[in-house]
Structure 1
Amino acid sequence: MPSAEKKPQTLYDKVFQEHIVDEKPDGTILLYIDRHLVHEVTSPQAFEGLRVAGRKNIPTTPRTNFKDVKSFVEEADSRTQCMTLEENVRAFGLTYFGLDDKRQGIVHIIGPEQGFTLPGTTVVCGDSHTSTHGAFGALAFGIGTSEVEHVLATQTLITKRSKNMRIQVDGALPLGVSSKDIILYVIGKIGTAGGTGAVIEFCGSAIRGLSIEARMSICNMSIEAGARAGMIAPDETTFEYLKGRPLAPKGDSAEWTRAVKYWRSLKSDEGAKYDNEVFIDAKDIAPTVTWGTSPQDVVPITGVVPNPEDFPTEEKRKSARDALVYMGLTPGTRMQDIALDKVFIGSCTNARIEDLRAAAKVVEGKRIAASLKRAMVVPGSGLVKRQAEAEGLDEIFIGAGFEWREAGCSMCLGMNPDILSPRERCASTSNRNFEGRQGAGGRTHLMSPVMAAAAAIVGKLADVRKIANSDTAPRKASPKLDVTPEPEDLSSDDDLESIMDISENNQPHTNTVALQTASSPLPKFSKLKGIAAPLNRSNVDTDAIIPKQFLKTIKRTGLGGALFHALRYNEDGSEKADFVLNEEPYRHAKILVVTGPNFGCGSSREHAPWALLDFGVTCVIAPSYADIFFNNMFKNGMLPVIIDDKAILERIATEASAGKEIEVDLINQVIKDSSGNKIAEFEIEEYRKHCLVNGLDDIGTTMLLREKIRKFEAKRTLETPWLDGSGYLSKKGRNGPVKVEAVPVPTTNRGEVITEPLEW
């Protein structure tokens, strides 16, 4: 009989399918991970977990006199994080880009720079904006700390298939409009929960016309649209960018040719089906800015602050009212009349050389407004900084009155001294404008680099199209970043091999030691009865659950006091009497009943469920969750229950509001009132239920599949050898995977980490 015709696949389907190690009847999948990036904020607890089980953000001030982390990082908690990272990379043998390494920088900028990010790979990091790497046709997504530990131990993740979503943007972009405006417009159109449960593929002529850097900005903020990841099919623009990168196959080699042939196949088939599609005409997009406390709160720069009473539902009206109170804005105010205190150009969204060139073109020959307290430019990596300085961009910014900083995340998340003071207003090229994101009480307006540059000159939110030299074309045209390391760094196979750790045998590189170790048990969860606290809010982000100033701990415990900090406490530290968790009997709540959708949106930080758990909450009931937060709850033995029927959810909330106990019976998948009457039923995946009821962690169950992982890796080496380094190393006759070796870590360095699969 003739074979069945192959079903058309999307780009996401193809990459996902190629990485399946094992699939259970309920759809639970063990997915192989090709690339893992690690940084200091979400890794300490993961390394600690490996140790216990026997399983094998920094200042951007000048570093001219840098000696070591201990003396350089002034904040004690930040210093602890950085020194802990150094200890961990030394102990576990990971590649480390330290503070005095010119390649150091933001993980989502240095990965592509080094050619570590390649089409068709799976890429993860304990950072929600890992979606950035999807610009290369990679399946890249953020993970929680428990999943960081899982990848370090097994080189795999346990997951489920996502839905397919397509956003097609066609036509020519108007003057002054960039990729940042595209993604802000998209988020404004579909909302911050519009892509929940989906991987978004961006396509269309407008997307095809963008540089790789611009594509990275779009994929970076796909997480702000609620998506698990964003992807763009690789093309000639992609291949040109990758050619010559240190960790990409050598250009014009047989390995490069073989890789490019495979990469060309990474596009959606004609007739591939999507669960949701959005079509946008590029001419409808104008330079865009945010007015509120969510990335979906956007208007054209020519617009005005909206009136909350114009929103269609009371839920949205309340959200808008709250946002305007926080932002200190009045409905009807012209956006261009809003005065600023600070301007920030940087972040993993917009700190690449192309961004800096475009911003420099706007400010060249001008001065920032005298009314500004501060304007900063923070390059995304040491190499971007060096390239910008070689082109004289630093002189343009400094001459205009900007601060020219060292590479880092800086004011994007405000975990170092680069923060806003309460009620200060900032024009920012970062990706989130949540309450307190850039500093407690700080007010953030998101926009593109050229718009931020224009705002700095005017001192208010400004239309870049009114500023001279503002056609947004880069000051110096370049088809790709000129940041390839100099010859003395990586000039030959011998030089490369001097920083490579090459397997002496042809064994797979999964952490075999880890796979032979018993799992760490979690508390068993079968039935929970207790006080349920009602929370009538929508889009509760992780910054609201646990503000970033409390993320500097290297432990998983002790965060209960910081839970919902801005909602629970006044500026003087006193309690807000009207917040539910400050009231009796809710101070002792074990269950949280959230009536609004999209709970846990924003960051991948696992600190959010840790804070809930430390407070005593082990179950959350809500209509919907952000994907990463949903996963993180299960990793900690907690139960997130989805009740999307509004009437049933209101019944549960009514019981909670009356101060009564409710019972969540996981075995029978029902919720009961205090009298034992059934209020609701709920669904849960069989695998996750099994783990919760039996107190199993994912690493323990993955250990049982070590032989399947070995076989997958052997097949991977044969089919895509460039992922093992065969394209950029002679390997001196050796076979099998290779790994970038950790530079010996003195107690002086600090930076970001890149790992490839562990070798054993």
Structure 2
Amino acid sequence: MPLTLYDKIYQEHLVNPDDKAAPLLYIDSHLIFEVPTAQAFDGLKKNNRPVRRTDLTLATVDHNVPTDDRSKYRDAASFVKEPQARTQITLLEKNIKEHDIRYLGMSDRRQGIVHVVGPEQGLTLPGSTLFCGDSHTPTHGAVGALAVSGGTSDIEHVLATQTVLQKKYKNFRVQVEGELGPGVYSKDIVLHLLGKIGTAGATGCVIEFCGSTIRNLSMEARMVLCNMSIEGGARSGLVAPDEVTFEYLKGRPLVPSGAEWYKALTYWKTLYSDEYALWDFSVLINASDIAPSITWGTSPDDVIPITGHLPDPADFDEKQPFKAAAIRRSLKYMALEPNISATSIKVDRVFIGSCTNSRIEDLRAAAKVARGRKVADSVYAMVVPGSGLVRQQAESEGLDVILKAAGFDWREAGCSMCLAMNPDVLAPGERCASTTNRNFEGRQGPGGRTHLVSPAMAAAAAIKGHLTDVREFLTSGNGSIATTQLTLEGDKVSSYGKVAASAPASNFENGGDTFANRPAQQAKRSVEGIPKFRVVRSVAAPFDMQNINTDLVIPGDYLKTVKRTGLGPHLFEELRYDSTSHKEVSSFVLNQDPYRKSQILVCTGENFGCGSSREHAVWALVDFGFKCVIAPSFASIFFNNSGKNGLLAIPLDDAAALRKIHAEGLAKREVEVDLPKQEIRDFEGRLITTFEVDSYTKHCLINGLDDISNTLMSEEKIFDFETKQQTKFPWLFGRIRKLQSPRRLGLHLPGAQDIFDW
């Protein structure tokens, strides 16, 4: 039977192909960072469980780290001033020491954004599976890997079992053909796609990008596409490996070498979608139709070409009232008027960075526009390299000199202004041309306004002081591999700098540290499960919004917590409280009785929970008192996170039944959700509708069972599987243990006291 690339990798990693109810996917590489891991390690400690495969786990810090000058850096405890961020970072350092996990910290020039560091070090390999607790993990699919994300419960699951529960998703082909026009980059391709399919267009799917345009992109450009596949609702993104992939990988520290390189290469060349493979969905895009693009609103699919005009909600009132309401809300938040031109929008800030666009090719594109020009007096512009090695490479090419001469602030590596979790934030009302991936309300800071653009477009906006067609600055060049892989002087240089691969450490040569740390028998059962769910009776809190994203459910600043509790008071904070007086907004539903005590939330808009993979949105809902959320559809990761925390998420495509439940909520009458019977009844006990729920989730919710306990009942099967995998794909095991300390490689900061000498 012909298979897609996704089908092949998925089937290759199923621990037990016969288990259809709770399929376990073996994880070849696990990337961890400071924000969602504290609770996961706490769970391991509580249950006396080891990290199963330290040889398959790599840690770094990125979301919370300051991007200030590090010349006087001593240690994280003294360098990070914000207390909660400092706690998360120092807790991660404590945990990785206890479990002997390789760590790229702030004293290490290899430190950086998790989705830049992974491919840069060669952690991500074709045909492998990778897990990371961040929604932009699909980035790694650019090399032909299946890269998936999830919340803290999934992180703990991978640490304890080296597997993740992963059902089979649908196949979505995005085929792009032809030559890109001048000034058009991969960011424009993916923005164009989002404008076509929307933020829920690929929900429940894995996207494979293909076609002549994709083949003509560099690895770094392909990473941009896969990175933002999540913004279209996809569970992951993929590009089939080819000669571009192999050239990019060869010689990186964690990539096999010698005889193993040729064995791996032979396997990698079998990784493609078969000619007659079945696609559930397909989109064909002509590259000549793609222009330099921007987002104008507060959703990644609010896309127009730079030559376009903003939409008018009145045009959608009659046939698409939800869309009309969303446009009005976005225009109000963004302080923009309908029908104005994109180029009339002035900006206060420009940010070039994030896991989407902070690699060396992105910095070259920005420098090409900035060379010999000056940032407008009205604009503060910053460039944040994705890793210390990207920064080092950029400086060796003189990009920093060009950018600083133009007036850009040149920073250290980190997530920076992608999200409001570190000192780099927008002030209320500030407008930013940003190379990030999300433009949600408050994403870059409470009240901040974000326009997504490519690095070249961002540089052009910085110079002009408003959103600008970059083609005014570029007479030639686009995002094709022929131009992006070259330095500004026309030389071709390895994109991760001149750092040789680490020599094998002695314990690796002897086969040490390449075994599973198996849990003791008594550690297989958790000391506590999840809240049991049977029947809930409550007035349903009625919502009428679509695309309720996780940043709206709980603002990014609260992701710094190291607990699963205490987030309830901050649920929907931007809607519940006035941003100036901080007093309750009386018109908001959760500030009214009886909804303050609602246990059921009913939303008539689609795509509830889109955005981040972290569980904080679910924790906030549960902490407020919600036990059930009903909506037409949910973002995949939010949906998965819900059941793991005792929250029943019910996707209900029966519009009449949904309206009935919503009307009961408006009338302040109770409804009853009966999980054993899979029924929803009105206040008099009359059936409104039945609902579907998968048997595994239902079993766990009714019995209060957590995933890890269930999985460890099959621990012998996991052990047998990984033993076979180690024989079949030996190059995937033990390699992280080859990494050497920054001091040994000359990549440490001279004054640092927290060097991790492995």
Q: Taking structure 2 as the reference length, what is the TM-score of the superposition? A: 0.93
Runs of 5+ in structure 2 lacking a partner?
Answer: 51-63
For 1:587-602, list aligned pairs within 5 A.
Answer: 587-602=596-611
CA distance in 1, matches of 2:686, 2:328: 38
Cα RMSD (Å) of the superposition?
2.1
The answer to whether the Cα contact below 8 Å between 1:83 and 1:750 also exists between their aligned partners in 2 is no
- Counterpart of 2:2 in structure 1 is 8
- Counterpart of 2:23 in structure 1 is 29
CA distance in 2, matches of 1:715, 1:272: 28
- Counterpart of 1:326 in structure 2 is 333
Q: Tell me how far 1:750 sits from its aligned partner.
A: 8.1
CA distance in 2, matches of 1:282, 1:467: 21
1:720 aligned partner, one-letter code: F
CA distance in 1, matches of 2:69, 2:343: 34
Q: Secondary structure at the match of 1:148?
A: helix
- Counterpart of 1:283 in structure 2 is 288
CA distance in 1, matches of 2:325, 2:644: 33
The answer to whether the Cα contact below 8 Å between 2:48 and 2:523 also exists between their aligned partners in 1 is no
Q: Secondary structure at the match of 1:63?
A: coil
The answer to whether the Cα contact below 8 Å between 1:501 and 1:741 also exists between their aligned partners in 2 is no
CA distance in 2, matches of 1:743, 1:595: 53
- Counterpart of 1:424 in structure 2 is 430
Of the structure 1 ranges 527-536 and 130-139, higher mean CA displacement relative to structure 2 is found in 527-536
The answer to whether the Cα contact below 8 Å between 1:89 and 1:742 also exists between their aligned partners in 2 is no
CA distance in 1, matches of 2:71, 2:140: 31
1:425 aligned partner, one-letter code: R
For 1:49-64, list aligned pairs within 5 A.
Answer: 49-56=43-50, 57-64=64-71
For residue 392 of structure 2, the aligned residue among 386, 394, 413 is 386
- Counterpart of 2:473 in structure 1 is 467
2:662 maps to 1:650 = no
Q: Secondary structure at the match of 1:128?
A: coil
Q: Tell me how far 1:512 sits from its aligned partner.
A: 2.9
2:123 maps to 1:116 = yes
For 1:149-168, list aligned pairs within 5 A.
Answer: 149-168=156-175
Q: 1:238-292 deviations in whole A, cap 9, x for unaligned?
A: 0000000000011xx2211110111111100010001111111110000000000
- Counterpart of 2:100 in structure 1 is 93
2:116 aligned partner, one-letter code: I
The answer to whether the Cα contact below 8 Å between 1:724 and 1:739 also exists between their aligned partners in 2 is no
1:611 aligned partner, one-letter code: A
- Counterpart of 2:114 in structure 1 is 107
CA pair 515-588 structure 1, distance change in 2 beyond 3 A: same
Of the structure 1 ranges 742-751 and 684-693, higher mean CA displacement relative to structure 2 is found in 742-751
2:650 maps to 1:641 = yes
Q: Secondary structure at the match of 2:357?
A: coil
CA distance in 2, matches of 1:476, 1:597: 49
2:541 maps to 1:533 = yes
CA distance in 2, matches of 1:602, 1:334: 28
CA distance in 1, matches of 2:698, 2:682: 22
- Counterpart of 1:341 in structure 2 is 348
The answer to whether the Cα contact below 8 Å between 1:58 and 1:78 also exists between their aligned partners in 2 is yes
CA distance in 1, matches of 2:249, 2:512: 29
Q: Tell me how far 1:502 sits from its aligned partner.
A: 6.4
For residue 435 of structure 1, the aligned residue among 437, 441, 444 is 441
Q: Tell me how far 1:471 sits from its aligned partner.
A: 2.8
Q: Tell me how far 1:414 sits from its aligned partner.
A: 2.1
- Counterpart of 1:676 in structure 2 is 685
The answer to whether the Cα contact below 8 Å between 2:21 and 2:696 also exists between their aligned partners in 1 is no
- Counterpart of 2:312 in structure 1 is 307
- Counterpart of 1:542 in structure 2 is 550
CA distance in 2, matches of 1:750, 1:467: 45
Q: Tell me how far 1:551 sits from its aligned partner.
A: 1.0
- Counterpart of 2:204 in structure 1 is 197
Q: Secondary structure at the match of 2:16?
A: strand
Q: Secondary structure at the match of 2:15?
A: strand
Q: Secondary structure at the match of 1:262?
A: helix
Runs of 5+ in structure 1 lacking a partner?
Answer: 1-6, 729-736, 756-760
Q: Tell me how far 1:380 sits from its aligned partner.
A: 0.1
CA distance in 1, matches of 2:16, 2:303: 42
CA pair 558-355 structure 1, distance change in 2 beyond 3 A: same
Q: 1:477-507 deviations in whole A, cap 9, x for unaligned?
A: 56663425635xx5533xx447x5965487x
Q: 1:351-396 deviations in whole A, cap 9, x for unaligned?
A: 0001001110110011001111x10000000000000001110000
2:67 maps to 1:69 = no
- Counterpart of 1:144 in structure 2 is 151
Q: Secondary structure at the match of 1:375?
A: strand
For residue 42 of structure 1, the aligned residue among 29, 36, 40 is 36
Q: Tell me how far 1:39 sits from its aligned partner.
A: 0.6
CA distance in 1, matches of 2:363, 2:754: 25
1:718 aligned partner, one-letter code: T
The answer to whether the Cα contact below 8 Å between 2:173 and 2:283 also exists between their aligned partners in 1 is yes
2:403 maps to 1:397 = yes
CA pair 411-67 structure 1, distance change in 2 beyond 3 A: same
1:396 aligned partner, one-letter code: I
Q: 1:659-691 deviations in whole A, cap 9, x for unaligned?
A: 111111100100111111111100111111111
For 1:236-385, list aligned pairs within 5 A.
Answer: 236-250=243-257, 253-311=258-316, 312-372=319-379, 374-385=380-391
CA distance in 2, matches of 1:501, 1:685: 46
For residue 210 of structure 1, the aligned residue among 217, 223, 230 is 217
- Counterpart of 2:61 in structure 1 is none
The alignment covers a number of residue pairs equal to: 728
2:459 aligned partner, one-letter code: A
- Counterpart of 1:486 in structure 2 is 499
2:618 maps to 1:605 = no
Q: 1:618-640 deviations in whole A, cap 9, x for unaligned?
A: 11001100000000001101110
For 1:486-565, list aligned pairs within 5 A.
Answer: 486-487=499-500, 490=501, 492-493=503-504, 496-497=505-506, 503-504=511-512, 508-509=515-516, 511-513=518-520, 516-519=523-526, 520-565=528-573
- Greater relative contact order (Cα 8 A, min sep 6): structure 1 or 2? 1
Q: 1:164-206 deviations in whole A, cap 9, x for unaligned?
A: 1101000111111100000000001000000000000110000
- Counterpart of 2:12 in structure 1 is 18
The answer to whether the Cα contact below 8 Å between 2:537 and 2:671 also exists between their aligned partners in 1 is yes
CA pair 685-175 structure 1, distance change in 2 beyond 3 A: same
CA distance in 2, matches of 1:706, 1:656: 45
CA distance in 2, matches of 1:158, 1:202: 25
The answer to whether the Cα contact below 8 Å between 2:530 and 2:644 also exists between their aligned partners in 1 is no
Q: Tell me how far 1:40 sits from its aligned partner.
A: 0.6
Q: Tell me how far 1:26 sits from its aligned partner.
A: 4.2
Percent identity between the two aligned chains: 55
CA distance in 2, matches of 1:413, 1:390: 29
